[in-house]
């Protein structure tokens, strides 16, 4: 009889695994998830509120393909797992509680927004931005600027800036409060952060730095009316977005005996402390991450790669997870951002890592290199898209920065990126040296 594989969570990690296993046809696969019947692109949630996409257009795989695939899909909430019986309990949308057995179980339950016990955080008008239900809350609480004239967003990572862009697209006056002295300082060198700050402020975002949320105040109906900051400022608002990071979504495992830390601890093969249970995506925490990499990397590409890796292992080719070169991409309003390899922000930049920053016309590149050997370590690009394969291979083979600059045209990707910038970069590099 086919091995019975049960996957909890139909995000990028769980769906990638399920689809690849179905293609190989070797196992019976059940995908159980509570948020939606079909896999959707969480990274594009903002475009639904902004009117660019419908919810169905968020789905990278057609409903027809899912319906025709042998994968059994169950829309239900898993309440607990019982590894000793290889069984889990779940609640269907109709409210029935049921059990399901497995031979191998994969937990791919993603993240949830991190809230920090602020007074008033349960009030009507306070939300995170992660789930489809957050879009529904936004439509209810902030459909337009007459219902919601003012909003405050707390925490300036990628999700925070997306929420600001969403609110501003409906003419809602928006303030972003960040604790740090410059934008996304946990990830960006100061010069990059300054470029992003200038860009977002040009879109009428009110940016308050070096302050924090103290508490959320409500009116007599229980709806948000203002917030108080630690520095004593009161800002009136009808909506508060909390985007102070995400946490692995693992509460339902607390009684399972699985070894947990911030996430579900997994070995190099993505196996948990129970030999029949694996974890992938945002909820997985690597026991042995590579140096300079995080044990939990809550990004799309990590979930996809973990799903692909586990599909290989389950198909009889045991494969350790190799995160490859760090890569991520995002948009700050109209400013495209890509990052490859290692470009450390000031706080964590070792002495051996040097940066060369070039900037013109709201476009920038920050190259990181090793001070002694000149080896290229990584790059941040803004407003310019580079060829993923080529830049990754440059980081992987650690060619010198000099070579990268000499060959920068080879990484050309963006049709709108005028070739004249290459000469500018080369010229600036010579001047810099």
Ligand X SMILES: Cc1cc2nc3c(=O)[nH]c(=O)nc-3n(C[C@H](O)[C@H](O)[C@H](O)COP(=O)(O)OP(=O)(O)OC[C@H]3O[C@@H](n4cnc5c(N)ncnc54)[C@H](O)[C@@H]3O)c2cc1C
Take residue 292 and report the two structure tokens written for it: 């300079």
Q: Which residue is nearest to ligand X (CB)?
A: 110
- Rounded distance between C-alpha atoms, residue 341 and residue 380, angstroms: 9
45 near ligand X, judged by CB under 6 A = yes
- Whether 126 contacts 134, CB under 8 Å: no
Query: Rounded to the nearest whole angstrom, what is the least distance from the CB of residue 6 to ligand X in the complex?
Result: 11
The answer to whether residue 188 forms part of the interface with ligand X (CB under 6 A) is: no
Residues 298/165, Cβ–Cβ less than 8 Å: no
37 binds ligand X (CB under 6 A): no
- ∠ Cα 52 58 62 (to 5°): 130
**Binders of ligand X among 67-86, rule CB under 6 A?**
77-78
User: What count of Cα atoms within 13 Å lies in the side-chain half-sphere of residue 39?
Assistant: 27
Our CB check for ligand X shows the closer of 108 and 401 to be 108
Task: Tell me which residue has tokens 């508060």.
Answer: 240
Q: Which residues contact 426 (CB under 8 A, 6 or more apart)?
A: 405, 406, 408
Cα–Cα distance for residue pair 371/409, rounded to 1 Å: 24
Answer for which of 59, 165, 197, 282 binds ligand X (CB under 6 A) is 282
Does residue number 8 form part of the binding site for ligand X (CB under 6 A)? yes
The rounded distance, in Å, linking the Cα atoms of 165 and 205 is: 8
d(CA 172, CA 365): 32
The residue range among 34-42, 65-73, 209-217, 347-355 that interacts with ligand X, by the rule CB under 6 A, is: 34-42
Among 47, 301, 333, 417, binds ligand X (CB under 6 A): 301
Query: Residue 34 or residue 425: which is nearer to ligand X going by CB?
Result: 34
Site membership for ligand X, residue 135 (CB under 6 A): no
Interacting residue with ligand X among 7, 11, 170, 368 (CB under 6 A): 11
Contact between 177 and 213 (Cβ < 8 Å) = yes
Please give the residues from 384 up to 423 whose contact with ligand X meets the rule CB under 6 A. none
> In the complex, what is the shortest distance from the CB of residue 360 to ligand X, in angstroms, rounded to a whole number?
25
Query: Can you tell me the distance from the alpha carbon of 14 to that of 172, in angstroms, rounded to the nearest whole number?
Result: 36
Structure tokens at 378: 């990584």
Q: What string marks each residue from 143 to 182 as x (binds ligand X by CB under 6 A) or -? A: ---------------xx--x--------------------
For residues 299 and 377, which CB has a smaller minimum distance to ligand X in the complex?
A: 299
Q: Which helix (H) or strand (E) holds 14?
A: helix 12-24
Between residue 236 and residue 265, which ones bind ligand X under the rule CB under 6 A? Answer: 249, 252
31 near ligand X, judged by CB under 6 A: no
Shortest reach from residue 133's CB to ligand X, in Å? 9
- What secondary structure letter does DSSP report for 119? B
Alpha-carbon gap, residue 177 to 210, rounded angstroms: 8
In the list 6, 14, 356, 365, the residue contacting ligand X (rule: CB under 6 A) is 14
> Applying CB under 6 A, what is the total number of residues that bind ligand X?
36
Q: Locate 25 and state its tokens.
A: 């046809």
Near ligand X by CB under 6 A: residue from 241, 263, 303, 341: 303
Stretch that binds ligand X, among 117-125, 190-198, 300-308, 380-388 (CB under 6 A): 300-308
59 near ligand X (CB under 6 A): no
Q: 66 or 369: whose CB is closer to ligand X?
A: 66
Distance CA 262, CA 227 (A): 29
The tokens for 33 are 């998830």
Structure tokens at 39: 């896999």
List 130, 314, 356, 382, residue binding ligand X (CB under 6 A)? 130
Q: Which residues bind ligand X (CB under 6 A)?
A: 8-14, 32-35, 42-43, 45, 77-78, 108-111, 129-130, 158-159, 162, 249, 252, 281-282, 298-301, 303, 328, 330
């Amino acid at each position: 009889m086919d091995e019975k594989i049960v996957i909890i969570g139909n995000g990028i990690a769980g769906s990638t695994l399920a689809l690849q296993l179905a293609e190989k046809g070797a196992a019976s696969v059940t995908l159980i998830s509570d948020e939606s019947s079909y896999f959707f692109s969480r990274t594009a949630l903002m475009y639904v509120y902004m009117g660019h996409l419908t919810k169905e257009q968020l789905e990278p795989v057609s409903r027809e393909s899912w319906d025709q695939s042998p994968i059994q899909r169950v829309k239900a909430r898993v309440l607990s797992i019982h590894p000793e019986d290889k069984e889990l309990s779940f609640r269907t949308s109709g409210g029935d509680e049921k059990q399901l057995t497995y031979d191998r179980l994969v937990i791919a339950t993603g993240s949830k927004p991190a809230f920090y016990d602020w007074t008033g955080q349960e009030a009507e008008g306070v939300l995170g931005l992660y789930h489809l239900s957050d879009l529904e809350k936004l439509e209810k609480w902030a459909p337009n600027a007459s219902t919601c004239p003012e909003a405050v967003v707390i925490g300036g990572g990628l999700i925070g800036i997306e929420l600001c862009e969403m609110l501003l697209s409906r003419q809602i006056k928006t303030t972003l409060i960040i604790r740090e002295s410059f934008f996304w300082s946990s990830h960006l060198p100061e010069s990059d952060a300054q470029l992003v700050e200038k860009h977002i402020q040009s879109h009428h975002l009110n940016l308050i730095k070096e302050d924090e949320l103290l508490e959320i105040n409500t009116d007599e109906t229980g709806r948000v009316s203002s917030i108080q900051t630690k520095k004593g400022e009161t800002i009136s608002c009808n909506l508060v977005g909390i985007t102070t990071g995400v946490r692995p979504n693992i509460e339902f495992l607390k009684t399972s005996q699985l070894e947990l830390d911030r996430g579900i601890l997994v070995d190099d093969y993505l196996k948990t402390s129970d030999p029949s249970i694996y974890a992938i995506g945002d909820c997985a925490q690597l026991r042995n991450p590579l140096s300079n990499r995080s044990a939990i990397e809550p990004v799309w590409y990590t979930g996809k790669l973990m799903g692909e890796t586990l599909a290989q292992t389950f198909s009889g080719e045991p494969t350790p997870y190799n995160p490859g070169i760090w890569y991520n991409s995002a948009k700050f309003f109209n400013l495209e951002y890509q990052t490859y390899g290692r470009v450390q922000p000031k706080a964590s930049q070792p002495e051996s890592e040097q940066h060369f920053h070039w900037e013109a016309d709201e476009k920038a590149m920050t190259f990181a290199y090793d001070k002694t050997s000149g080896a290229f370590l990584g790059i941040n690009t803004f407003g310019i898209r580079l060829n993923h394969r080529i830049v990754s291979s440059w980081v992987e083979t650690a060619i010198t920065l000099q070579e990268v600059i000499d060959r920068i045209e080879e990484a050309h990707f963006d049709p709108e990126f005028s070739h004249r910038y290459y000469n500018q970069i080369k010229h600036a590099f010579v001047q810099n040296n």
